[in-house]
Amino acid sequence: MKKTDLVIIGGGVFGCAIAYYYSKNNPGKQVILVERNELNNAATSRAAALMTMVRSKRSYIPLTIETFRVAKEMEEELGESLDFKVVGMMHVAATDAKVKDLEELMGIAKEYAQEAYYISKEEAKKKAPWLKLDEALKIGFVPNEAYCDPYMLGTFFARCARKHGAKIRQGVEVLGLIHEGKNVKGIRTTEGEIYAQTVVDAAGVWAPILAKEMGVGLPMAPVRSQYWITERADIFPTNSPMVLLPDAQAYARPEGGSLLFGIREKKSLVASPQDVPKDIADFVFSADEGMDDLFENGERLARFFPAFYDMGIKYYVAGFSGYTPDSQLVLGGVPGTEGFLVASGCCGAGISVAGGVGLGIAEMASGRSNPMDFSEFEISRFGNINPFSEEWLNKCASARSNKVSG
Ligand X SMILES: Cc1cc2nc3c(=O)[nH]c(=O)nc-3n(C[C@H](O)[C@H](O)[C@H](O)COP(=O)(O)OP(=O)(O)OC[C@H]3O[C@@H](n4cnc5c(N)ncnc54)[C@H](O)[C@@H]3O)c2cc1C
Decide: is 53 part of the binding site for ligand X (CB under 6 A): no
Q: Please, is 114 exposed, middle or buried when counting C-beta atoms within 10 Å of its C-beta (0-12, 13-18, 19+)?
A: middle
Q: Considering the complex, state which of residue 150 and residue 298 has its C-beta at the smaller distance from ligand X.
A: 150
Q: Applying CB under 6 A, does 259 fall inside the site for ligand X?
A: no
Cβ-based neighbours of 7, under 8 Å, separated by 6 or more? 31, 32, 33, 34, 186, 187, 194, 196, 198, 199, 200
Task: Tell me the closest approach of the beta carbon of residue 96 to ligand X, in angstroms.
Answer: 28
What is the spatial distance between Cα 112 and Cα 57, in angstroms, rounded to a whole number? 12
> Is residue 387 at the binding interface for ligand X, with CB under 6 A as the rule?
no
For the chain, what's the residue count?
406
352 forms part of the interface with ligand X (CB under 6 A) = yes
Q: Binding to ligand X by residue 252, rule CB under 6 A?
A: no
CA atoms within 13 A on the CB side of 198: 23
Rule CB under 6 A: is residue 346 a binding residue for ligand X?
yes
Cβ neighbours for 122, distance < 8 A, ≥ 6 positions apart: none
* 43 touches ligand X (CB under 6 A): yes
Residue 37 interacts with ligand X (CB under 6 A)? yes
Candidates 7, 8, 19, 50; binder of ligand X (CB under 6 A) is 50
Strands (E), 282-329: 313-323
When asked if residue 34 is in the footprint of ligand X (CB under 6 A), the reply is: yes
Please choose, out of 23-31, 46-54, 86-94, 330-338, the segment that lies near ligand X by the rule CB under 6 A.
46-54
Size of the site for ligand X (CB under 6 A): 40
Using the rule CB under 6 A, is 174 a contact of ligand X?
yes
Query: x/- site string to ligand X, residues 287 to 316, per CB under 6 A?
Result: ------------------------------
Kindly state whether residue 36 participates in binding ligand X, applying the rule CB under 6 A: yes
CA 303 from chain center: how many Å? 28
Tell me if 228 contacts ligand X by CB under 6 A. no
- Residue nearer to ligand X on the CB measure, 225 or 297: 225
**Residue nearer to ligand X on the CB measure, 197 or 226:** 226
| One-letter amino acid of 319 | G
128 binds ligand X (CB under 6 A): no
* 49 interacts with ligand X by CB under 6 A: yes
H helix intervals, 79-132: 96-111, 121-127
Stretch that binds ligand X, among 178-186, 265-273, 317-325, 392-400 (CB under 6 A): 317-325
Which residues from 7-26 bind ligand X, rule CB under 6 A?
9-15
Does residue 248 touch ligand X according to CB under 6 A? no
Spatial neighbors of 62 by CB under 8 A, at least 6 apart, are: 112, 356, 372, 373
Residue type, 272: S
Whole-number Å distance between alpha carbons of 161 and 167: 8
Q: What is the closest distance, in whole angstroms, from the C-beta atom of residue 358 to ligand X in the complex?
A: 10
- Please provide the DSSP assignment of 247-284 as one string: GGTEEEEEETTEEEEEE--SS--B--GGGS-SSGGG--
CB of 133 to ligand X, least distance (A): 23
327 binds ligand X (CB under 6 A): no
- For residue 205, CA distances in Å to 121, 250, 388 come to 41, 24, 12
Q: Is 56 in the site for ligand X (CB under 6 A)?
A: no
Q: Which of 48, 106, 200, 396 binds ligand X (CB under 6 A)?
A: 48
* Interface with ligand X, residue 397, by CB under 6 A: no
Q: Are 135 and 92 spatial neighbours (Cβ–Cβ below 8 Å)?
A: no
Binder of ligand X out of 328, 344, 366, 370 (CB under 6 A): 344
Q: Is there binding between residue 44 and ligand X (CB under 6 A)?
A: yes
**Contact between 401 and 297 (Cβ < 8 Å):** no
Query: Which secondary structure element, helix H or strand E, spans residue 298, and what is its range?
Result: helix 291-302
Integer Cα distance of 195 and 7 in angstroms: 8
| Residue 246 binds ligand X (CB under 6 A) | no
Binding site for ligand X (CB under 6 A): 9-15, 34-37, 41-44, 46-50, 173-174, 202-204, 206, 225-227, 317-319, 321, 344, 346, 348-352
